[in-house]
Amino acid sequence: MTETSLILAPAPAFLEPSLNQTLIEMGELALAAAALIGKVENAAENKAAVDAQKGLKEFCRIVEKERVRLNEPALEYSRALMRCKEKAVLDKEQEYGRISNLVSDFQLKERRRVAEEQRKQQEELDRIERERQEELKRIADEQARVELEAKEAREAAERLASEAKSKKQREAAATAQADAKRLADAAQVQAATAQAQSAKVEEKAAEAAYIESRPIVSTKASGQRVVEDWEIQVVNPYELARLHPECVRVEPLLTPIKAALNAGRTINGITFKKIVVSGVRATGRRVVEV
């Protein structure tokens, strides 16, 4: 089934319109009369010019009147087609709008849900990072404590060894040196342990952050398009134009301006001068079919 067969009354075919010979000759006569007008300097020349204008005006009037007459069936068909369309789609568009409102409400709730889950997600990521920093600091502090004890023990043993005079003092210095070596060895072990613990903490935090950083998306059906937009109601157009001129469009209304000028009023923001416009009225003598 083609698209043109979906509505039962297809539009009638139209032929290319053209002017009949009578109207063609009338137009040529009007142009010939107009071609004789080269100047208007006296009453006779003015009358001849006006007669030429009448001929031109009458030709244009007849053509326009015939266009309107012949176009009326097409316009009526277009209006009938529009009425057919409006009647056919009215209840469907109403249902579409009703469902759109329901979908929009759901999508609004979805956006709120996504925003809340993203907030909780960020809180969890912050917690993971905070605990990582705290654990790394604890490991570093423990390592620093062990290294400080080893350093203090070594310095104390060196001091005792340098001050030892008697056998008892030398034995005490030897004991202190043994303790210092034990603490130094413990510090080395602690350094290796701290490095391994730090690597494990980093790995665990990275894994937790990766799992927690999953994308949070709103629910959408196939073919559904969800965008944000603004519902705007202008409550004070004058304030809008005064404070935000880039957001309005100002168009001059020539008819009220001319009426105000005819009444002798002064209109700010324009320049003007009185001019004379000459024209003629079509006589409506006859209508020639096109």
Q: Is the pTM of this model over 0.85?
A: no
> So what's the pLDDT on residue 290?
39
Least confident of 132-141, 247-256, 281-290: 281-290
> So what's the pLDDT on residue 4?
52
Q: Report the largest interatomic distance among the alpha carbons of the chain, rounded to a whole angstrom.
A: 152
DSSP string, 13-46: P-PPP---HHHHHHHHHHHHHHHT-----SHHHH
Whether the Cβ atoms of residue 146 and residue 182 lie closer than 8 Å to each other:
no
Confidence band for 288, pLDDT divided at 50, 70 and 90: very low
DSSP H or E run through 227: none
Kindly tell me if the per-residue pLDDT of 1 is higher than 60: no
**Model confidence pLDDT, tens digit, residues 122-168:** 999 999 999 989 999 988 898 888 888 888 888 888 888 888 778 88
Confidence band for 183, pLDDT divided at 50, 70 and 90: confident
